[in-house]
Chain A
C-alpha cells in the first residue's frame, strides 16, 4: 500500500462520493418533504447519462450535450412527478416502492429498445483530457478533478439555495412538518413538484458527468440508487448537510475499502484467507457502516425531523 496509491484512491473516493451526493440530494428531499419513496430516482441518473451520450454523438460536443441534457432531465422529472408520483403521495410506502420499481423496469427496457443493450462510451472532452501531476509520482486524470470541482460547486450552490432562499426555507420546513407549511398558505404540492424536478436534474447531472469515465448502459442507475439510499439513511432523511457528509463517507469507505481491505487484512491473517475475506468484507463495508451509524443514531447523523 503506497502513499501515492492511497492519495489517488482518496481522490477517487471523493469524486465518487460527490456524484453520490448529487443523486442522494434529490432523493433525501423528496423522501423528507413528502414522505415519498422514489426508487425511480436512479432512473434519472441513467437518463441524464443517456441524454448526454446521445446528444454528444449528435452534436459532437460534450458540453453542448450537457447543456441540452439538463433542461431535458428537469422536464422528465416533471413528467414523472405528474404522471406517476402524484397519485401515490396518499398511498403507503409499499405502493410507492412497487410503482416506482415498475418505473425502473419500464425505463430500463425502454432504454434497451431505443439504444441497445451494449454500453455506449463517451470520449473525455478535449480540454479536460490528460492527467496532471499532483505530487511526485501522483498523476491524476484532469477529468476526474473536473468532476470533483463540479460536484463541490453544485454542493455549494445547493447549500446557498437551501440555506439562503425562501424556497430553501420552505423545503427545510416541509421536511420537518409539511402539513404545517400547507396550513400557513403554501401549496406543498407545487413545492414538491419543484423539489422533485430539481432533484431529478441533479441526479441527471451526476449521470451526465460520469459518462466519459463509466460505460453508459441500461440499469446503470440501479446500483447508484441503492448507495444513495444508504447515504440518506446514514445522513438523516431530509437533511442536505447529512447527505453531503454521508455521501463523502460512503464514497471514501467504499473506494478505499475495495483497494485496501485485502492488504490491511493481511496484517492480521494469512495471505490466502485475506484474499478471500478482503473482497467480501469491502463490498459489505458501507452496509456495516450504515448498521453502525443506525445503532447509535437511529435517525441518522443529521436528523431533520427532530432538530439540527
Chain B
C-alpha cells in the first residue's frame, strides 16, 4: 500500500534521511522506531509532502507522492496525526472534526458520531475551543480529525507522548481497535512493549539510516540488540 524507496531528505544543507526504505501493506501495522532526532518525524513529513524529498520514490497505492504537495497525500488516503497534535486552536472540537472531513473512497466509515463513540470525552466537549482541551483530549481530537478524512492509512507520530498513563492506555486501545477494523497504520512511539503488542513489523532508524527491520516475532527474539539502538 505504502512503498518508500531510497528516500533522502533534509533541512537546507543538513541531510537527515539517507536512503530509507519502508513498506506498509494493506491492513498492516508498522512501527517506526528510533531515538530522539533520528529522523522519524522527518520521514513522516516527507511521506505526507510537508517536506520535499531530495531523492527517492514514495508510492501510495498507485499514486506517486514524492514531489507533490501535502493535500495530494491526504487525498490519496493518508490520514496524519502529527507530532505535537497540531489541532486548530480557534476552531471548536466539532469544527476540528468536520472542517477537513472527507470520504473519497465510497461511503464514509468514519462519521462525527463514530468518532464521538470512540472518544466520548470529545462529545462532551464538542462546543469547546481546541485550545481549551487537555493534552490527552487534544490527542484524541487529532486522531478523530484524521479518521474523519476516512483514510486508507493512518500515520500516528508520537500519539502517546507526554500523556498520563490512563490516557495512554486509552490511545493504545484505540489503535488496537483501528487495527482490528483492518486499518493500515504507521505508528511512531517510544514504548517498545506497547508496539510489540500492536504492530506487525518494525523499522528502526538511526541517524537517518534504517538499521534494523523485522517482524514482531523477530523483534522479540532480537530484543536486546534492538533496545541498544533505542536507549542512550
- Segment among B31-39, B84-92, B180-188, B207-215 that sits at the interface with chain A: B84-92
Pick the residue among B70, B86, B90 that contacts A172 (CB under 8 A): B90
A185 touches B129 (CB 8 A): no
CB neighbours (8 Å) of B102 from chain A are 185
Most chain B Cβ neighbours within 10 Å, of A173, A177, A189: A173
Interface footprint category on A: 20 to 34
B90 touches A304 (CB 8 A): yes
Closest to B102 in A: A185
A184 touches B69 (CB 8 A): no
Closest to A307 in B: B131
CB distance from A170 to the nearest CB of B (A): 6
B49 touches A183 (CB 8 A): yes
**Provided the pairs A166-B98, A184-B146 are in contact, do residues A177 and B73 lie with their beta carbons within 8 angstroms?**
no
Most chain A Cβ neighbours within 10 Å, of B80, B90, B102: B90
Closest to A302 in B: B90
CB distance from B88 to the nearest CB of A (A): 4
B90 touches A182 (CB 8 A): no
Q: How far is the CA of A180 from the CA of B96 in the complex (A)?
A: 11
Most chain B Cβ neighbours within 10 Å, of A166, A179, A188, A308: A179
CB neighbours (8 Å) of B80 from chain A are 183-184
Closest to A187 in B: B71
- Is B74 positioned at the interface, with any CB of A under 8 Å from its CB? yes
**Provided the pairs A182-B69, A183-B82, A184-B74 are in contact, do residues A176 and B49 lie with their beta carbons within 8 angstroms?**
no
B99 touches A179 (CB 8 A): no
Q: How far is the CA of A180 from the CA of B83 in the complex (A)?
A: 11
- Is B149 positioned at the interface, with any CB of A under 8 Å from its CB? yes
- Is B95 positioned at the interface, with any CB of A under 8 Å from its CB? yes
Closest to B85 in A: A180
B88 touches A177 (CB 8 A): yes
Pick the residue among A175, A180, A183, A304 that contacts B73 (CB under 8 A): A183
B89 touches A176 (CB 8 A): yes
Q: How far is the CA of A180 from the CA of B142 in the complex (A)?
A: 11
**Provided the pairs A187-B71, A307-B131 are in contact, do residues A181 and B90 lie with their beta carbons within 8 angstroms?**
no
Contact with B along A174-200 (1 / 0, CB 8 A): 011101111111111100000000000
- Is A270 positioned at the interface, with any CB of B under 8 Å from its CB? no
**Provided the pairs A166-B99, A184-B74, A185-B149 are in contact, do residues A173 and B91 lie with their beta carbons within 8 angstroms?**
yes
Q: How far is the CA of A184 from the CA of B91 in the complex (A)?
A: 15
**27 pairs, CB–CB < 8 Å, chain A vs chain B:** A166-B99, A169-B98, A169-B99, A170-B99, A170-B100, A172-B88, A172-B91, A173-B96, A173-B99, A179-B70, A183-B48, A183-B71, A183-B82, A184-B71, A184-B80, A184-B100, A184-B146, A184-B149, A185-B71, A186-B100, A189-B69, A306-B89, A307-B89, A307-B90, A307-B131, A308-B129, A308-B131
A: residues with CB less than 8 A from B are 166, 169-170, 172-173, 175-177, 179-189, 304, 306-308
